[in-house]
A and B are shown apart, each in its own frame.
Chain A
Amino acid sequence: MASLDSKIPKGPVADKWTNHKSKINLVSPANKRLIDVIVVGTGLAGASASATLAELGYNVKTFCFQDSPRRAHSIAAQGGINAAKNYQGDGDSTYRLFYDTIKGGDYRSRESNVHRLAEVSTNIIDQCVAQGVPFARDYGGLLDNRSFGGVLVSRTFYAKGQTGQQLLLGAYSAMNRQIGRGKIKMFNRHEMMDLVLVDGKARGIITRNLVNGKIERHGAHAVVIASGGYGNVFFLSTNAMGSNVSAGWKIHKKGAHFANPCFTQIHPTCIPVSGDHQSKLTLMSESLRNDGRIWVPKKKEDVEAIRSGNLKAINIPEDDRDYYLERRYPAFGNLVPRDVASRAAKERCDAGFGVNKTGEAVYLDFASAINRYGKEQAHVKGLDEEDASLVKKLGQDVVRAKYGNLFQMYEKILDQNPYEMPMMIYPAVHYTMGGVWVDYNLMTSIPGCYAIGEANFSDHGANRLGASALMQGLADGYFVLPYTIGDYLSNDIRTGSIDTQLPEFEKAEASVKAQLEGFIGNKGKNSVDYYHRKLGKIMWDKCGMSRNEKGLKAAIKEIKQLREDFYKNVNVPGRINEFNEQLAKAGRVADFLELGELFAKDALERTESCGGHFREESQTPEGEALRDDKNFTFVSAWEYKGEPSKAKIHKEDLKYEEIEVKTRSYK
């Protein structure tokens, strides 16, 4: 596993995928029956891969830790899914989607993978419609599109504010069809505990049945990891409570390189933290920034008065407000990309202008939009445009029609009426672009072990564009992996079923049991959450929206100490052989405590600023991110060497043959 071979096919970028598909080895239908594939995770990537592999004829075993595959966190995606259909005739094309994704990723993703993603994007929409996914339609009965995330075309397909749920239920239904036919064996409430290698190849996994605690062995000819991202290393994120890095981390420890761990997306429009009890953060679609204006007070005394409850935002005169995005970025204003908007909010709050009791919130104000829409409506209807209360009512109706569900969600959580008072928002960890390193075939550096969806690193570079996560998950699962995996499995048609009595399985099972017994027998004084919260705080303070050498070095030290303390003093109640949530959580947090350190190490190594990764040492005089293409146009792929601090870096150089590398500017 010395060098990185990305196995990018030769030829022009537009022909690579077609040519590659025509040339790779296939497995005949009769032989597919003899081959078993394990899929871990049932989000968009895992569910779509399971369904397609089963349909092709492989025997599939699929695992999820939730009580049903439909619960996977893809379900929470709101906004939409991109596809280069050009239904709006606004000049979209495969090339344009390819270009936007590379540029959005701040020139840190692989051209060949991204082009393939753009190519198959149109198939996804055809497929989903055929499955009965109820996308939004116009009155003519055709599919509707909207614009998203600062691109210049309308290519986003959506299903109100729950596109993720509808796409996931589509993939889940395709899985259900195969479960019903017996081609997928589904294991709900099962957690992958380790990967088993036989002769250097992935040949199975060890799982724990979360209902009765039983440790089980499962053999297969290939293992596919589709376990999502690792945003929960920050404790507070928009991820689900159970989302974890463990499957990806276990394979990393068995030889799979982990790429770009420091590339994290921090989403600007989330509901702020309300107190120490907070368990997770809630995202609100970035579409709100189309009509909302972001500001904080100009005067410190106003900030104090707001925090003490003596002043309301609406009573601050226009001249005393700092619309800082409009001030700093006149061209894009409130519609700058996610990373830029998030950093600007942090800058104001760090300077002491945060508007809630924790000092970490800014206003998102719809008053201007309500007034503008209200006047428009009054004019259209021939009513009095000077009647303020009428204008307000008409304007609120327009805003309600556009964002009603988001306003309702905000009101439920904060008990404040956002039609009357500006919303309070703050950035939150949302998505991780980094992940397990994979080659063009989506295979990790372990033969026979694949990683798809958010779990891999491949398509979004240093920053992901809105509505692209769903696209990548389904592209990998429906249209890429099921073909590329055949090339590897064609060598396994005579292997026969994998014997789980092999010593390799025995050894892996024994080490899993030893770790679990260690937790239960520890009888320490602190709960698992105590450590998870502490880790999150280190990550957020020192590896969050902006990073510097001093902070990162401190983080590496602190995380290591925290990890040592965890193994000494963690308390895990109950027994192994029972339903034990604390035990399951302990294993996940143990892995986060290692990943966190590698994350900081990666951020320390990359002394440039790019995408979601902002190094304070690398900025322009105006405080904007400064990329260093000469020294950092590469993927950092880390090889495990016993512990995170000893990880060895491998660099995959990124070559831009189709697209000219430019500076992103939003001024």
Chain B
Amino acid sequence: MNLTLKVWRQANADAKGKMETYKIGEVSPDMSFLEMMDVLNEQLMVKGIDPIAFDHDCREGICGMCSMFINGEAHGPDRLVTTCQLHMRKFKNGDTITIEPFRAKAFPVIKDLTVDRSSFDRVQQAGGFVSVNTSGNTQDANAIPIDKHDADKAFDAATCIGCGACVATCKNASAMLFVSAKVSQYALLPQGKVEATDRVMNMVKQMDEEGFGNCTNTGACEVECPKGISLENIARMNREYLFASLKG
């Protein structure tokens, strides 16, 4: 396949960025999108052009490091996959593909397609944990049976890989899907219930301080989430938050 790529180039956080156009040939449909980017970078280097910076690591859809806004969609046109699992067979010979970074006030660009998502870490540091020491001197793991349905829902919420596709997709750059997934995981488990009130208050406060926008329930985040995290989590977090606010 021959393709035309329009790629966001930005030297660093302070530089002004712009779209650049590159042609690439001999793309195999079996390549992953990132392998296509590897080939492009090899070609750019031969021409003496700085290779395009993009985040990636595990290349099997679980680490959450790859990002990219491809043809106006986080992780591109396929559903329930990350960019590293997107294959070139989803495109046609002669296509023009637009590649931009995940854009949000809370995700400043570092270089080209690489953004800083440490705001997600800070939201987790504000309360995304159970306050238990790691001494191993806890009670036996089977001491508290947990309803399988609750355990499964907690697991589904916990499958979030923290990639930020929800934020990049949301017109308000809201992080509600991400934050609610973590709040839900713990709210559904007896181990997490003890400090549920403080957790939701602290995490939401930090989320607001980081500059993420508000949720207007359009549901776009759920559509683009590579792990299919459900909007139900946002509803659950809103309930948790309301309850915590009333409790004071």
Q: Please report A residues at the B interface, Cβ cutoff 8 Å.
A: 48, 51-52, 55, 66-73, 75-76, 85, 87, 120, 123-132, 134-143, 159-160, 162, 164-166, 169, 172-174, 176-177, 179-180, 186, 188, 211, 238, 240-242, 274-275, 277-280, 282-283, 409, 412-415, 478-479, 527, 529, 571, 573-574, 578-579, 581-582
Contacts and interface: CB of A to CB of B under 8 A. Distances in A.
Given A176-B124, A529-B38, A581 B51 contact: yes
25 contacts: A55-B134, A67-B55, A67-B65, A68-B162, A75-B63, A87-B142, A126-B141, A127-B135, A127-B138, A129-B141, A131-B132, A165-B62, A165-B159, A241-B58, A274-B30, A278-B35, A279-B35, A280-B59, A283-B60, A412-B81, A413-B32, A413-B87, A479-B136, A573-B45, A578-B111
Contacts of A582: 45, 51
B151 interface: yes
Interface stretch (B112-120, B165-173, B217-225, B237-245): B112-120
B58 A126 contact: no
Contacts of B118: 67-68, 188
B129 A141 contact: no
B233 interface: no
A640 to B, nearest CB: 29
Given A129-B191, A140-B145, A76 B136 contact: no
A130 B140 CA distance: 9
Of A279, A283, A414, most B-chain CB atoms within 10 Å:
A279
B175 to A, nearest CB: 14
A579 B39 contact: no
B148 A573 contact: no
B21 interface: no
Contacts of A166: 155, 158
Given A68-B117, A123-B136, A581-B51, A73 B58 contact: yes
Interface string B23-47: 0000010111011101100100100
Contact of B121 (A52, A68, A529): A68
Interface in B191-248: 191-192
A177 B129 contact: yes
B32 A279 contact: yes
Given A129-B191, A130-B139, A141-B145, A51 B125 contact: no
A66 B64 CA distance: 11
A140 B147 CA distance: 7
A137 B162 contact: no
B72 to A, nearest CB: 21
B174 interface: no
Contacts of B162: 68, 70
A23 B132 CA distance: 27
B69 interface: no
A242 B65 CA distance: 11
A66 B159 CA distance: 19
B3 interface: no
Contacts of A413: 32, 85, 87
Given A68-B118, A71-B58, A134-B158, 5 more contacts: A174-B134, A176-B124, A211-B110, A415-B87, A529-B42
A280 B58 CA distance: 9
Contacts of A409: 60-61, 85
A70 B64 contact: yes
Contact of A240 (B59, B125, B131, B132): B59
B207 to A, nearest CB: 14
Of A125, A130, A479, most B-chain CB atoms within 10 Å:
A130
A275 B138 CA distance: 50
A275 B185 contact: no
A168 to B, nearest CB: 10
Given A67-B116, A130-B132, A571 B45 contact: yes
A618 B55 CA distance: 45
B51 A573 contact: yes
B196 to A, nearest CB: 11
A179 B123 CA distance: 12
Contact of B136 (A127, A162, A211): A127
B57 A242 contact: yes
B19 interface: no
A51 B128 contact: no
B89 interface: yes
B145 A176 contact: no
Given A140-B145, A573-B51, A176 B56 contact: no
Q: Which 4 pairs from chain A and chain B are nearest by CB?
A: A141-B145, A123-B136, A173-B129, A134-B155
B111 A579 contact: yes
A51 B130 contact: no
Contact of A71 (B57, B145, B185, B186): B57
B39 A277 contact: yes
Interface of B: 11-12, 28, 30-32, 34-36, 38-39, 42, 45, 48, 50-51, 53, 55-65, 78, 81, 85, 87, 89, 110-111, 114, 116-118, 120-121, 124-136, 138-142, 145-148, 151, 154-155, 158-159, 161-162, 185-186, 189, 191-192
B19 to A, nearest CB: 19
Nearest to B161: A165
B116 A241 contact: no
A419 to B, nearest CB: 18
Given A134-B154, A142-B145, A412 B136 contact: no
Given A412-B85, A579-B53, A579-B111, A180 B130 contact: no
A174 B59 contact: no
B186 A52 contact: no
Contacts of A70: 64, 121, 162
B129 A579 contact: no
B34 A279 contact: yes
Contact of B158 (A48, A67, A169, A414): A169
A126 B140 contact: yes
A179 B39 contact: no
Contacts of A120: 136
B53 A581 contact: yes
A285 B200 CA distance: 36
A176 B129 contact: yes
Contact of A66 (B65, B145, B147): B65
Nearest to A478: B134
A634 B120 CA distance: 47
Contacts of B138: 126-127, 129-130
Given A125-B141, A130-B138, A211-B110, A241 B57 contact: yes
Contacts of A55: 133-135
Given A67-B65, A125-B141, A188-B121, A132 B192 contact: yes
B124 to A, nearest CB: 5
B57 A177 contact: no
A138 B148 contact: yes
A120 B36 CA distance: 45
B136 A527 contact: no
A169 B185 CA distance: 12
A609 B158 CA distance: 43
Nearest to A69: B121
A130 B62 CA distance: 24
Contact of A132 (B30, B135, B136, B185): B185
A240 B89 contact: no
Contacts of A69: 121
A129 B161 CA distance: 20
Contacts of A179: 121, 125
A370 B67 CA distance: 38
B59 A134 contact: no
Given A169-B158, A173-B130, A241 B56 contact: yes
A479 B50 CA distance: 46
A570 to B, nearest CB: 11
Nearest to A177: B129
Given A176-B121, A277-B28, A76 B191 contact: no
Contacts of B81: 412
A213 B72 CA distance: 31
A282 B134 contact: no
B62 A76 contact: yes
